[in-house]
Structure 1
Amino acid sequence: MFCHNCNSQNDDGSNFCKICGINLLIQANMTQDRNISSKNWLLTLLLCIFFGAVGIHRFYVGKIGTGILMILTFGGFGIWVLVDLILIVTNAFTDENGLKLNKNLYRY
């Protein structure tokens, strides 16, 4: 395991870097959190259920262009909304940066 602070090699089971002493477990969690969007999964799901036909959930996650298209086509005549619902429920729906939505209710 490499330390992101000093780039030194550490044993895989190490909790702290042997050179700089930084907590490697906290570093690993911070690195993992960078791959998760700040947009909330549950809110996106609820917006899609109640306002999906006008694409409000897409505006929320930053997909403005496709949100406008959903307004113009009234949710792709319902098909697009259904596809988005399936993607959200299976956690395959992403934000504007391609990051998976945050399922943690207490972190925004």
Structure 2
Amino acid sequence: MEQQTQKTKLADEKFCSECGEIIKLKAEICPKCGVRQIPPPNPLSSTAPNGKNKIIAALFAFFLGGLGVHKFYLGQVGRGILYLLFCWTFIPSIVAFIEFIILLTMSDETFNKKYGAV
């Protein structure tokens, strides 16, 4: 009968997501199986696949939303130009404040679907 040994890891180690081997905590690739390790999600950094960040977009909407900077950042150049053309009416500022609240309350999945296209 085979004897099973239980693997224990230290504080600076983790288990490989593919083969279960103990590897260093900062390892990006498992030395045993060669699979790239997926970093754990960071709740403070909700970055889309194209590099756009929800918090940055919300801050742009709050501070520079009247000029449409958040629209340019999110790749909506046409809407950004509309915000610039009508910034003297302060209507874009009001709309940008509403978009600021929407961006902050939006889930990461929704943000990635709407603005995360590569």
**TM-score using structure 2 length:** 0.47
**Alpha carbons of 1:86 and 1:37: their partners in 2 closer, same or farther (altered >3 Å)?**
farther
When residues 98 and 44 of structure 1 are mapped into structure 2, their CA distance, relative to the original with a 3 A threshold, is closer
Q: CA shift at 1:67, angstroms?
A: 0.5
Give the number of the structure with larger relative contact order, counting CA–CA contacts within 8 Å between residues 6 or more apart: 1
Q: Rg larger in 1 or in 2?
A: 2
Unaligned runs of 5+ in 1: 1-13, 101-108
- Measure, in 2, the Cα distance between the counterparts of 1:83 and 1:36: 25
**Structure 2 vs 1, CA of residues 44 and 62 (structure 1 numbering), >3 Å: closer, same or farther?**
same
Give the match for residue 67 of structure 2. 54
Aligned pairs for 1:23-102 within 5 A:
23=35, 26=37, 29=38, 36-74=49-87, 77=91, 78-91=93-106, 94=111, 98-99=115-116
Gapped regions of structure 2 (runs ≥ 5): 1-16, 20-32, 40-47
Percent pairwise identity: 25
Kindly tell me the number of residue pairs found equivalent between the two proteins.
Answer: 80
Query: Structure 1's 76 and 36: CA in aligned 2 closer, same or farther, altered over 3 A?
Result: farther
Out of 15, 20, 27, the position equivalent to 2:18 is 15
DSSP 3-state at the match of 2:115: coil
